[in-house]
Amino acid sequence: MNDDDLTTVLPTLLPRLWRFALRLTQNPHDAEDLVQRACVRALERRNQLQPGTSALSWLFSIVHSTWMNELRARSIRNRGSMDWQDEEIESFADPAAHNPELDLLHRQVIDAVEALPEAQRVVMVLVAIEGLSYREAAEVLDVPIGTVMSRLSRARLTIGQKFSVQAPAGTRKGESL
């Protein structure tokens, strides 16, 4: 990919980069700042984009590393304390098809994903929401593919447990009340 290709494709990828940044930061303003810093970094280092590498994966990697650097800086500034209040994440449900039950379910799923530990949440966003392959997610996060698979498995298990229906005490599988 040459310089012109990156400047051409970058604007088309901004919505996906912003969604990813929003999931990382949990704050629309921080997400905007993060995407802006990541785009500047990408344009400054466009010569590091290797031929055959997905521009989207490369940009996700830059967004992620920029965010991790920001978290480290905040941690140092706050002496290890990360006391901030984030605004509620926007739901991307279709406003034309208002369905309170569906809205509630969407909110519960988003809350469950947001409650995951950082490492699991990031993998879940990259694979389940952004559609990256395990290999691409591993490259973005600079971890082995097995780590991505393990984190995703634990994330799915945790979310599944939040939504599983528990049998009433004293009943066995196959028994009815």
Q: Are 137 and 123 in contact (CB under 8 A)?
A: yes
CATH assignment, 98-163? 1.10.10.10
Q: What are the start and end residues of each CATH 1.10.10.10 domain in the chain?
A: 98-163
> Domain 1-79 adopts which CATH fold?
Rna Polymerase Sigma Factor; Chain: A (1.10.1740)
| pLDDT by residue, tens only, the chain of 177 residues | 555 578 888 999 999 999 999 998 989 999 999 999 999 999 888 888 888 888 899 999 999 999 988 888 877 776 544 444 445 444 444 455 566 776 777 788 888 888 889 899 999 889 988 888 999 999 989 999 999 999 999 998 998 888 876 545 555 555 554
Q: Are 102 and 109 in contact (CB under 8 A)?
A: no
In sequence order, what DSSP letters do the residues of 31-81 get, joined into one string?
HHHHHHHHHHHHHHTGGGS-TTS-HHHHHHHHHHHHHHHHHHHHHHHTTT-
Query: What is the SS3 assignment for 22?
Result: helix
Please tell me whether the overall predicted TM-score, pTM, comes out greater than 0.75 for this model: no
Amino acid at 100: P
Q: What is the DSSP letter of 161?
A: H
Q: What are the start and end residues of each CATH 1.10.1740.10 domain in the chain?
A: 1-79
